Amino acid sequence: MSKKEISSGTEKAENLTRKNTGKKPAAKKTPVKQTKKTAVKKSDKAVKQPKQSVVKSEKQSKKKPVKAVNEKRLQRKQAREQKKLEAAKIRAEKKQKRLEKKLEAKQKRLDRIAAMKQAKAERREKRRERRDMLKHETKEARINRKREERAAITEARVAKREAAMADKRAKREHRLKVRAEKRAEKSEKRHAPGFGGWLAAVISLGVTTLALGTMLTFGWLNMNGMEANMATAQNENLYELNSIVDNLDTNLSKARVSNSRNEQVRLLTDIAIESEMAETVLERLPLDTQTTQNLTSFVNKMGDSAQSMLYSVASGKKLTESQIATIEHMYNTNQELKAIINDLCANCTQKDMLSALNGKTDGLFYSSFDTIQNTTVETPKEIHDGPFAENIDKVTAKNLEGLTEITAGRAEELAKKYFRDYNVSEVKCTGETVAEQLVCYNVVLTTNDGEMSAQISKKGGKVVEFNSYKACTDKNFSVKRCIDIAEDFLDALGYDDMKAVWTSENGTTCNLNFAYEEDDVIFYSDIIKVKVCEERGIVTGMEGLSYVLNHVERTPSEPSISKAEAKSKLIKGFDVEASRLCVIPVDGGEALCYEFFGTYQGDKYYIYIDAKTGEEAEVFTVIGTAQGRALM
């Protein structure tokens, strides 16, 4: 069939089939004449055919290594993917740990904030409770509480001192024991050690020296840390005192000009509370009582004066001229105090505080309080509890000299005897305490109405203090009858020749001061305070420390000037209501004086004129008290 005879459709189908199978289209067959040349070519092809089969087998043999390479690549790829997974896992774990740590820190912060809020709320609640307690606390309760606090502090100091002495004895015994062991060891070693012995000794000495050096270094660092903490705590106390003094300055400044009853009540309440807080902070500072004596006395009297004025204003009365002058004096004194303490807070370094903690008195801390003690503070002379009621000289117990010491059992017997009218069912000695310069037994007495407490001197068995804590809510006995009851009580305790020199009562309780009297002369150094319940007509409290410390038999001297001459020394216009001879404590000694009680421009005063020189020895202002008007 010729070329023209081939169908074009068939040709297209064949071409399409070859394209799908990947084969090249076959060349068109043309009739070629077979020549010699073509025959040779065919024979060559026949010869070359085995060579193609060899090449093919080589290609087939090369396929196996390619497969192994692919497997290695796959393994490496899988290893990389595994490492990526592990790295991602590690990153996730680290992220989780960071998140947990962050959440933990956040929780700690929240807990710390909550704890701070809780502590702040507790402190606020304590301050509120203390403010309420001080607001409603009577003077007797305050005195009893402060006395108990002082007794607790004294007991703690005694216990601390005893513990320190025991520790010192133990260390000394240990040193003696070690010294004896060393001496015994030296006596055993009579011959010189060889090289091995010397080597061992050198090594042992080196180890010991290293250990000792480490211990000393650690101890030094630890001690430094403790001292730093103590200095920080004392700085906080100083800043707290500074804040209290600033608040007092503000409240006293307002009280000077306030004329509203409600505002005066609020301000006087704050002053009384802040005075109590200042006294507490002063007790915590590293200062001896001699350095802070005047400052503590001023703060104490400021609180008493504020509380007394508070009761007066709360009862509907107006402040007197004397009370207004007292506020002015407290304001001026507190301003000077504020300037010194503010300056101390600004300039006191940790070195100054450590110096004060170590007892050195040449630093800024001590010098500042010395300035306050010597030149700044002057306590206003006002009577709350009678003339010279707080007089306690730093002397030996004169009234107990020459008396023998008693046992605890004897103290119990005496207590049962002294208080036989109180229906005592049981008496128990609970220990000893130190009151100023004498040692006393603490005795608890059980009665039908509850417990009572008393302090009986170890030397002589004298009753120094007594409290029954019985509430009095009604008045069934007059002041005169209360004086008779108190005199009988003192006679039963062995305190004779005592005269009532001061009375103060509020309708339920009568507070009395008794002083020793000899030849119509009153000795104010020998005072005993007695509290009588006007409801039951019994003594519920007694304090005779001043009497025990000062009382001795003595004969008063004769005055050098007459009463008329002494009266002429008084200021013109002073209206004398009563006068008498008395002996008063003056600068650690005693002076015979004329006592004049009277009125000047509406205010009550006690003026004491020296009966020897005619000079004015002492002046007191009578102010309102928590128990009402005080009378002689």
Q: Which of 85, 116, 136 is the last residue of a domain?
A: 136
Q: Are residues 233 and 96 in the same domain?
A: no
Q: How would you classify the pairing of strands 426-435 and 438-447?
A: antiparallel
Q: Are residues 166 and 80 in the same domain?
A: no
Q: Examine residue 366 and state whether it is found in any structural domain, yes or no.
A: yes
Question: How confident is the prediction for the chain on average, in pLDDT?
Answer: 76
Q: Examine residue 499 and state whether it is found in any structural domain, yes or no.
A: yes
Q: Are residues 349 and 424 in the same domain?
A: no
What pLDDT shows up at residue 224? Answer: 53
Percent of the chain exceeding pLDDT 90 equals: 16
Per-residue pLDDT for 230 more than 60? yes
Gap between the terminal Cα atoms of the chain: 167
Mind giving me the DSSP string for 357-419? HTT--SSHHHHHHHHIIIII-----EESSSTTTT---S---GGGTTPPB--HHHHHHHHHHHT
Q: Which of 329, 352, 380 is the last residue of a domain?
A: 380
Q: Examine residue 414 and state whether it is found in any structural domain, yes or no.
A: yes
Q: Examine residue 413 and state whether it is found in any structural domain, yes or no.
A: yes
Kindly state the tokens that stand for 156.
């703690």
Q: Are residues 132 and 148 in the same domain?
A: no
pLDDT digits (tens, 9 = 90+) for 464-487: 889 887 778 888 898 899 999 999
Q: Are residues 117 and 216 in the same domain?
A: no
Q: What is the mean pLDDT of residues 230-248?
A: 81
Per-residue pLDDT for 202 more than 60? no
Q: Are residues 458 and 597 in the same domain?
A: yes
User: Of 497, 501, 616, 615, whose CA–CA distance to 556 is shortest?
Assistant: 497
Q: Are residues 465 and 507 in the same domain?
A: yes
Per-residue pLDDT for 175 more than 80? no
Buried b (16+ CB within 10 A) or exposed e, 476-502: ebebeebbebbbebbeebebeebebbb
| Phi, psi dihedral angles at 66 (to 5 degrees) | -60, -40
Q: Are residues 441 and 538 in the same domain?
A: yes
Q: What is the mean pLDDT of residues 604-624?
A: 86
Residue 191, number of CB atoms within 10 A of its CB: 6
Q: Examine residue 474 and state whether it is found in any structural domain, yes or no.
A: yes
Question: Residue 468: left (phi > 0), alpha (psi -120 to 50), or beta?
Answer: alpha
Surface-to-core class of residue 338, CB atoms within 10 Å of its CB (0-12 exposed, 13-18 middle, 19+ buried):
middle
Mind giving me the DSSP string for 3-30? GGGS-HHHHHHHHHHHHHHTPPPPPPP-
pLDDT digits (tens, 9 = 90+) for 206-227: 555 555 555 555 444 444 555 6
Q: Are residues 116 and 257 in the same domain?
A: no
Q: Are residues 597 and 482 in the same domain?
A: yes
Q: What element of type H or E holds 529?
A: strand 521-533
- C-alpha distances out from residue 396 to 128, 393, 410, 438, Å: 42, 9, 23, 8
Q: Examine residue 132 and state whether it is found in any structural domain, yes or no.
A: yes
Q: Are residues 471 and 410 in the same domain?
A: yes
DSSP assigned state of 519: T
Q: Examine residue 457 and state whether it is found in any structural domain, yes or no.
A: yes
What pLDDT shows up at residue 609? Answer: 94
Least confident of 105-109, 146-150, 206-210, 411-415: 206-210
**Total domain count for the chain?**
4
CA–CA separation, 271 vs 323, rounded Å? 14
Mind giving me the DSSP string for 243-255? HHHHHHHHHHHHH
pLDDT digits (tens, 9 = 90+) for 104-145: 898 988 888 988 888 888 888 888 887 777 777 776 777 777
- C-alpha distances out from residue 387 to 383, 502, 514, 584, 616, Å: 6, 8, 11, 9, 15
Sign of CA dihedral 234, 240, 246, 252: negative
Q: Examine residue 354 and state whether it is found in any structural domain, yes or no.
A: yes
What pLDDT shows up at residue 523? Answer: 92
What pLDDT shows up at residue 18? Answer: 61
CA–CA separation, 323 vs 318, rounded Å? 10
Q: Are residues 354 and 262 in the same domain?
A: yes
Q: What is the mean pLDDT of residues 9-37?
A: 53
CA–CA separation, 305 vs 294, rounded Å? 16
Supply the range of the domain harboring residue 572: 398-622
